[in-house]
Amino acid sequence: MASQVLLAKGSKLYRKNPSTNLYEEVVQCLTLAWPSTVQEWIEITNHSSTGGYKEYAPGLKDVNTISVEIFWNPRDIAMHGTIYDDAVAEPPVSRKWGIILPNTLDGAGFDGFLSSPAGTLTINEAVKMTFTLRVTGAPTRVTTGTAGLP
């Protein structure tokens, strides 16, 4: 029985422009991590815990971070300079982001703060920049392309 797989090739990262209220593609992305939610479990063991076993209580869910790597070209691609400015802004600036998978137009929309911009300067190769998106709140599933992003 043949099975179908979903290839990530063609997936796109979008950033909502606060001036125009439109989502703009972040071009030349190489890698995107998908947002994943983790339930935090807080240890609450004390001396009166039954049988000496550890006890845990559920804490807040953490969506964690998304790592993005791009071929960085702020001279020719204005969005790349904007991303860097967002990452080093004081105080940090929350933006709306979206990841859209190819063909199916499924994806996720989320709020996030940029942090940790870092570059790789390998002689005779394109400059790569990696940055981290700190997701705030729960990602929203998107099924209608960029028009469905929040």
CATH number for 17 = 2.40.30
pLDDT tens, residue by residue, 117-128:
887 777 777 888
d(CA 149, CA 95): 12
Q: Which two tokens stand for residue 94?
A: 């929350």
d(CA 80, CA 127): 12
d(CA 38, CA 21): 30
Is residue 47 assigned to a domain?
A: yes
Is residue 116 assigned to a domain?
A: yes
- Structurally, the chain folds into a number of domains equal to 1
pLDDT tens, residue by residue, 92-142:
888 999 888 876 668 888 898 988 888 777 777 788 888 888 888 788 888
List the domain range (segments joined by +) for residue 141: 12-148
